Amino acid sequence: MKKRVVIALGGNALGNNLPEQMIAVKNTSKAIADLIVEGYDVVISHGNGPQVGMINEAMDVYGRSNPLHPTFTPLSVCVAMSQAYIGYDLQNALKEELLDRGIEKSITTVITQVRVDEDDPKFLNPTKPIGHFMNEEELKFAKEKGFQVIEDSGRGYRRVVASPLPKEIIEIKTIKNLLNSGEIVITCGGGGIPVIRQGHHLKGVSAVIDKDFACSVLAQEIDADYLIILTAVEKVAINFGKPGEKWLESITTDEAKEYMNQGHFAPGSMLPKVQAAVDFASSGDNRTALITLLEKAKDGINGKTGTVIKK
């Protein structure tokens, strides 16, 4: 059987705006196509950091200028919008790249909901910035709407939302059916649309799920062999930027946990990536997590570079 790989694309794989995204996904597709040519079954996920903020701001501006439009668009809806338009660009670019290589494969983007725990303590301490720094008018509007804002290092105010942990991928059966039929699937974009369950009803919540944690859950649910977390560095380091800096090539989950306990990884940067990698690698035998650069994904999975984490 083919080895199954979940790829978690970082922000550098998508650019910061629409024109950049159109260019970025072409380069991203080349790296993904390399793995498909190598014979791997590939499942793709991605972040949505700048995109969801732009959508949210655009909807707020439109709402304030048009009295017939609601002045508040739920963040969960903005996440859904970001999934659709990023998936649209990514699936078309990948399809084109594969056809250029003589490969005919169907690619599907699944608008994916991810259940979170309503009582997750992270809801009590929102820390995830959304959107740009506000002027006085925007700050007043945000406070009137009950948004939580923080002052960011003297640079101004930004809205912040919670980042709860993913518990369940709602569309997991659909994802599995597509994979089993030979489709390439793009799913859990932006960490998934955050929802809580109220009986049979799924209610969107104002939050952003970390895409690496969501990808770890996804990889476990589809029994993947590899979780590849693509980021802005070729390898993970301890003592990063300090005396004794060391780039890690292959470590066990126990070693990774010890490094985390020692505070080697920044909470808003490498820590969630390493934690997600450990969660996946610890979840079963013969499961491997890899953290590396996008353009090094093929070399990384072939053991030539990157940081490999195994049980």
Given 3-state DSSP classes, what are the helix, strand and coil percentages for the chain, each rounded to the nearest 5? 40, 25, 30
Say if residues 116 and 194 touch (Cβ distance below 8 Å).
Answer: yes
Q: Considering 235, 273, 296, 298, which one is annotated as catalytic?
A: 273
Say if residues 40 and 2 touch (Cβ distance below 8 Å).
Answer: yes
d(CA 5, CA 46): 14
Active site residue 53: no
d(CA 176, CA 180): 6
Q: Considering 190, 191, 192, 211, which one is annotated as catalytic?
A: 211
Q: Considering 47, 48, 56, 128, which one is annotated as catalytic?
A: 128
Q: Which residue has the tokens 């942990």?
A: 165
Q: Considering 3, 12, 63, 105, which one is annotated as catalytic?
A: 12
Say if residues 68 and 147 touch (Cβ distance below 8 Å).
Answer: no
Active site residue 211: yes
H/E element, 197 = strand 193-198
Q: Considering 10, 11, 15, 49, which one is annotated as catalytic?
A: 11
Rg (CA), the chain: 19
Catalytic site residues?
Answer: 11-12, 128, 211, 273
